[in-house]
Structure 1
């Protein structure tokens, strides 16, 4: 199964994805890691990245799904076309998918997270609060689950995700 995970920067995607990947034994594909590696190699400048990182992640996801792995795609997925490409990656592997949007309904808490987080990827420049606010982002009309990370801890949010995925897997 492919877990398509998304939400604005600072809502807790990577923290929750890591916790869930450990619990589920899933492969964690993080767009930030892929895109920064491409930038560090000088292949594409950061301001011209476009869909490159997403295309790479989708192809790696398909390969791993075909091998029978559970995969978590960790990305902002700001618009429908990026989400559709993840769904296509699952379809190419003939595997199911779930779409999970993370939000943080408490604006002050979200801003605090964005302003205080540290990057764990060499050379990655995290967006500031203004860039997060200015980013084009469309809510997910087709999300299977929306988790509001302002309402509980990251551990509890990860537990919600894991429980949801296990229930879905049990019905396949």
Structure 2
């Protein structure tokens, strides 16, 4: 199974994805960590973004081929970024589930003003991505990270998958 966790910067995607991976035993992949591993911190050209997502896609495919459940967290802010993961799930005949994480702008401003271990995104990045964010189509789980602990969100994701 492939679970894709989407949302704007600062919503808590990574924290929730980590909690879910711990609860479920899923492999957790993250775009910010991948960017760091590729030596692309501070590099956000279209080509650099493509390198990050291509590497995520490759690692996702390797884990799926081993029969693992994979959770990938990233903004997934445009359909052009989402489509390769959807195609990968289809090609590997694994179920695909989308989860969207939200939070109020007030909370996001507060969170993004503090340093975070893996992400460089600040409020200006949030505003840019928000202006380009394409709504997730179809049925998906929406969680508000202000109302959920990471653990309760992870349990809700698990319930959503069955």
Q: Provide the TM-score with structure 1 as the length reference.
A: 0.84
Deviating above 2 A after TM superposition, structure 1's stretches of 4 or more consecutive aligned residues are 150-155
Moved more, 70-79 or 82-91: 82-91
- Cα RMSD of the aligned pairs, angstroms, is 1.8
- 1:1-150 matches, within 5 Å, as 1-39=1-39, 46-48=43-45, 49-104=48-103, 106-119=104-117, 121=118, 126-135=120-129, 136-150=132-146
Unmatched runs of 5 consecutive residues or more in structure 2: none
Contact 2:23 2:154 in 1 (8 A): no
| Structure 1 CA distance for aligned equivalents of residues 114 and 159 of structure 2 | 29
Q: Secondary structure at the match of 2:44?
A: helix
- Shift of residue 155, structure 1, vs aligned partner: 2.2
Tell me how many residue pairs correspond in the alignment.
Answer: 158
Q: Secondary structure at the match of 1:102?
A: strand
- Shift of residue 103, structure 1, vs aligned partner: 1.1
Q: Secondary structure at the match of 2:39?
A: helix
- Shift of residue 156, structure 1, vs aligned partner: 1.8
Q: Match for residue 155 of structure 1?
A: 151
Unmatched runs of 5 consecutive residues or more in structure 1: 168-172
Greater CA radius of gyration, 1 or 2?
A: 1
- Shift of residue 89, structure 1, vs aligned partner: 1.6
| Structure 2 CA distance for aligned equivalents of residues 129 and 99 of structure 1 | 25
